[in-house]
Amino acid sequence: MNFRYRLHGLVAIAGLLVLATGAPAHAQTGPVKVGLVLSLTGPFAATGKQIEAGARLYLTRHGDTMAGRKIEFVVKDDGGLPDQAKRIAQEMVVNDKVDVLGGFVLTPLALAVAPVASQSKTPAIVMSAGTSSVIDASPFFVRVSFTLPQNSVGVAEWAPRNGIKSVVTLVSDYGPGIDAELSFKKRFEASGGAVKEAIRVPVRNPDFSPFLQKVRDEKPDAVFVFLPAGVGTQFMKQFASRGLDKAGIRLIGTGDVTEDDILNDMGDVALGVVTSHHYSAAHPSPENQAFVEAFKKANGGKRPNYMAVAGYDGMRVLSHALKATGGKGGEPLLNAMKGQSFDSPRGPVQIDPQTRDIVQNVYIRRVERKEGELYNVEFDVMKAVRDPGRGN
């Protein structure tokens, strides 16, 4: 065994001892340490970077001291791997003595960290992971992101009213994709549509061509798509090169497929794509305009996407909870996160005090060109949507 592995072994054993005794490692004075478990390398690195930039922007705009305690980030890369996410969360709790955990780009990463948060009684802010059941994995989880059922039902209701009666669903084959597929089907069929075929594609490095050929052969009115953030560009290119647009098959989905970080690179094939989602950089509120401007200024002109908003709002929830507890961490801090209502750049949101999950507006949007750039332009809204996916 080399030294590095032995060291990891010792850290893990120390972690288990602390976790087993349940002794909270939170100091109540000095800086508040926020451990961000993020994918900063690998295929989901762009998502991790958006979350980190959003969280940092909150401090830039609102100051880095909350309830008299300075905020200090401890940021570590999980590489998109659940075992690594769990190990770094343990290190953060045991060695870095973080007061709060946050991040978790993918559902399996949040699920891997859940026991660490529960056993160490560390509040953990879920800033991405959108499978409904994630929130039940730890009583110390608070979700500021979204759920896939929340974002699927909007377009499921819109489609049959707009000439789309038959659909093939195409989703990434893991938690959020399955949630999207099932909740879309349920609401679409209750609204008068029919799902002809449900296709699930691999999460990593998918080649969409054979699946798109299958969609083409089925001749549906539209294909409904869920893909995690960052994967949409390749999908769009293959959608066009396989001639689905020319065959008159429309593209609808959750807003993950036309997310703001990559939308501009997609080109004209994205024009007219209708999605439902909780955030668009084009959301026309003063809060959002100021947020987008400040984000671009701090990030070399880059546009924020819905991951950045979750990082930003996560810090808002933490900041107001710290004010309420007078700087105390642990369970009082968790309790002070529950029930918060505020105006996010995405619109009005609430953390449901019972479920600890986000309640928010879901907008129906169409990709349009505005001042030379592609945007998801909102044209309808379902207000204050609670996660409809629990019990799916």
Shortest CB 387 distance to ligand DHB, Å = 13
Q: Is 229 in the site for ligand DHB (CB under 6 A)?
A: yes
Indicate which single residue of 106, 249, 263, 273 sits in contact with ligand DHB (rule: CB under 6 A).
106
CB of 308 closer than 8 Å to CB of 57 = yes
What binding mask, one character per residue, do residues 343-372 give for ligand DHB by CB under 6 A, x or -? ------------------------------
Q: Is 225 in the site for ligand DHB (CB under 6 A)?
A: no
CB of 222 closer than 8 Å to CB of 249 = yes
Binding segment toward ligand DHB, per CB under 6 A, in 34-42, 72-80, 124-132, 311-319: 124-132
* Alpha-helical segments (H) within 204-282: 209-218, 232-241
- Region of 121 (left: φ > 0; alpha: ψ -120 to 50; beta: rest) is left
Q: Is 150 in the site for ligand DHB (CB under 6 A)?
A: no
Closer residue to ligand DHB in complex, CB, 151/361: 151
DSSP 304: P
Indicate which single residue of 35, 123, 160, 176 sits in contact with ligand DHB (rule: CB under 6 A).
176
Binding segment toward ligand DHB, per CB under 6 A, in 6-14, 125-133, 272-280, 285-293: 125-133
Q: Is 129 in the site for ligand DHB (CB under 6 A)?
A: yes
Closer residue to ligand DHB in complex, CB, 133/162: 133
- SS3 (DSSP) at 166: strand
DSSP string over 123-158: -EEESS---GGGGGG-TTEEE-S--HHHHHHHHHHH
What binding mask, one character per residue, do residues 59-98 give for ligand DHB by CB under 6 A, x or -? ----------------------------------------
Closer residue to ligand DHB in complex, CB, 107/280: 107
Shortest CB 325 distance to ligand DHB, Å = 29
Q: Which string of b and e fits 258-282 if b means at least 16 CB within 10 Å? A: bbbbbbeebeebbeebbbbbbbbbb
Task: From residue 287, give the alpha-carbon distance in Å to each of 55, 145, 294.
Answer: 16, 18, 11
Q: Is 131 in the site for ligand DHB (CB under 6 A)?
A: yes
Binding segment toward ligand DHB, per CB under 6 A, in 25-33, 128-136, 181-189, 266-274: 128-136
Q: Is 171 in the site for ligand DHB (CB under 6 A)?
A: no
CB of 222 closer than 8 Å to CB of 159 = yes
**How many residues lie near ligand DHB (CB under 6 A)?**
11
CB of 83 closer than 8 Å to CB of 111 = no
Tell me how many degrees the CA angle 91-92-94 measures, rounded to the nearest 5.
65
Residues with Cβ within 8 Å of 338's Cβ and at least 6 positions away in sequence, in order, are 142, 351, 352, 353, 356
Binding footprint of ligand DHB on the chain (CB under 6 A)? 47, 106-107, 128-131, 176, 228-229, 256
